[in-house]
Amino acid sequence: MNFSCPTCQQPLTLSETGFDCPNCERHFDRIALCPDCHQPLQVLKACGAVDYFCQHGDGLISKKRVEFTPAFIAD
Ligand SMILES: [Zn+2]
Ligand SMILES: [Zn+2]
């Protein structure tokens, strides 16, 4: 899914830390969503690895399946 910068409407790029706007260089936190129920996932950090857990019955979600959305979308 593609998201646009709320300031300049340019496409945002997803990085390990969140979404960045290459045009106005703003940074936005990202939120991990469950691909099945689209609720925010609990982020579990252990030993340098990150796991994503759905508290709504879908259990552990593979990082490849996690849907990331900019935090401003979810507000
Ligand atoms: Zn921008
Ligand atoms: Zn879920």
* Segment 12-63, tens digit of pLDDT: 999 988 999 999 999 999 999 999 999 999 999 988 889 999 999 999 999 9
pLDDT at 6 (0 to 100): 94
Is residue 48 in a domain?
Answer: yes
- Among the bound ligands, the one closest to the CA of 36: 2
Number of domains in the chain: 2
Tokens for 37? 């129920």
39 CA distance to ligand 2 middle (Å): 6
One domain for residues 4 and 23: yes
Domain of residue 2: give its range.
Answer: 1-29
**44, 52 in Cβ contact below 8 A?**
yes
pLDDT score for 46: 85
Task: Specify burial of residue 60 (Cβ count, 10 A radius: 0-12, 13-18, 19+).
Answer: exposed
For residue 53, give the ligand nearest its CA: 2
The verdict on 21 and 40 lying in the same domain is no
Residues 36 and 25 in one domain: no
50 and 62 belong to one structural domain? yes
3-state SS class at 64: coil
Q: Which CATH number belongs to the domain containing residue 39 in this structure?
A: 2.10.290.10
Quote the pLDDT of residue 16: 87
